[in-house]
Amino acid sequence: MQNDSIRVFFIGDIIGRYGRYFLSKALLPLKRKYKPNLIIANGENSAGGLGIIKKTADEIFNAGVDIITTGNHVWDKKEALPLLKENKFILRPVNFPDVVPGNGFLEFSLKDGEKVTIINLQGRVFMEPVVDNPFNAIDRLLKRVDTKIVFVDFHAEATAEKQAMGFYLDGRVSAVIGTHTHVQTTDYRVLSNGTAYQTDVGMTGSLDSIIGMKRQPIIQRFLTGINQRFEVAKANQILDIAIIDINTKIGKAEKIVSKRLYESNFQTEFKDYI
């Protein structure tokens, strides 16, 4: 990484207590090895696999995360309503209705004084229709942003919508990284005009699960159509992360890599940093 660059960590959706535990165990060695300037994580599923509360947000911040982004599950716990009103470092999608609490973007100052704008945005395809058109919403917002470095968490279901957003914003923002599906994609790259892109960063949760939850109740629901009680899965925790280097002079991405860390061999892999 060059002197005129910053490094951003973006950590995939943190699922429940076991995801929070692995995050708290893994993040400090990761920081020692890769030396990020900014750490962002999606935390909308940190409380029991659905929603976010003060306790889970505090654990994520205490682990070393600077900014928490969310998505369509942010209101699944009622405690999120006052939490987002009080804590500006927890974002909800900017294209939510204006009447809901919280903020959809934040201008964040790094230790060296460099400023970064972090934007949380939600898609509409196969998602709740109450959100505004994300393409129109981001156009309006970017007219108000005056930092060179702009990071976008695009929380969306459809890969086509995510890809469209990546190309739509190519050269206008530093990075567009997708969340929501919890399935890490391998299409990470720097687009032709300098925007780092990945359809989905993945998750911090159990690999032996269905998007972080125990498998059998979900399979049973598909078989019967009857709602089941979903529980966070514990076995074989992973942490999916995108690491993005961004040129501070022009706000363009220089490099993006995507990694998956396994709890089972983490101590061996990072023994020199623990």
The reply to whether 216 falls in a domain is no
Dihedral sign for Cα 27, 31, 34, 40, please: positive
In a domain, 226, yes or no: no
Residue 56, pLDDT > 70, answer yes
Whether residue 61 is predicted with pLDDT greater than 80 in this model: the reply is yes
CATH of the domain at 135: 3.60.21.10
Q: Which of 236, 228, 224 is nearest to 263 (CA)?
A: 236
Please report which confidence band the pLDDT of residue 123 belongs to, taking 50, 70 and 90 as the band edges.
Answer: very high
Q: Given a cut of 90, is residue 2 above it in pLDDT? A: no
Mean pLDDT in residue range 52-66: 98
pLDDT of 112 above 80: yes
What is the tens place of the pLDDT at every residue in 244-267? Answer: 999 999 999 999 999 999 999 999
What number is the average pLDDT over the span 106-121? 96
225 pLDDT higher than 80: yes
Task: Check: CB of residue 270 under 8 Å from CB of residue 33.
Answer: yes
Q: What is the mean pLDDT of residues 63-83?
A: 98
User: For all residues of the chain together, what is the average pLDDT?
Assistant: 97
Rg (CA), the chain: 18
The whole-number average pLDDT for the span 129-143 is 96
pLDDT, position 129:
83
pLDDT at 3: 80
The answer to whether position 222 is within a domain reads no
Q: Looking at the domain assignment, is residue 221 inside a domain? A: no
Residue 160 in domain: yes
141-145, 165-169, 192-196, 227-231, range with the lowest pLDDT: 227-231
pLDDT, average across residues 41-55: 98
Residue 128: per-residue pLDDT: 84
Q: Is residue 228 part of a domain?
A: no
Whether 15 is covered by a domain: the verdict is yes
Domain limits at 130?
Answer: 5-206+235-269
Over the range 136-161, which residues count as b (16 or more CB within 10 Å of their CB) and which as e?
ebbeebbeebebbbbbbbbbbbbbeb
Question: Which residues are marked as active site?
Answer: 73
Q: Is residue 1 pLDDT above 80, yes or no? A: no
* Structural domain total, the chain: 1
CB atoms within 10 A of CB 50: 17
In the chain the first and final C-alpha atoms are separated, in Å, by 22
| Helix or strand holding residue 196 (H, E) | strand 196-198
Instruction: Classify residue 212: in a domain, yes or no.
Output: no
How many other CB atoms sit within 10 Å of the CB of residue 83? 19
**By 3-state DSSP, what share of the chain in percent is helix, strand and coil, each rounded to 5?**
25, 30, 45
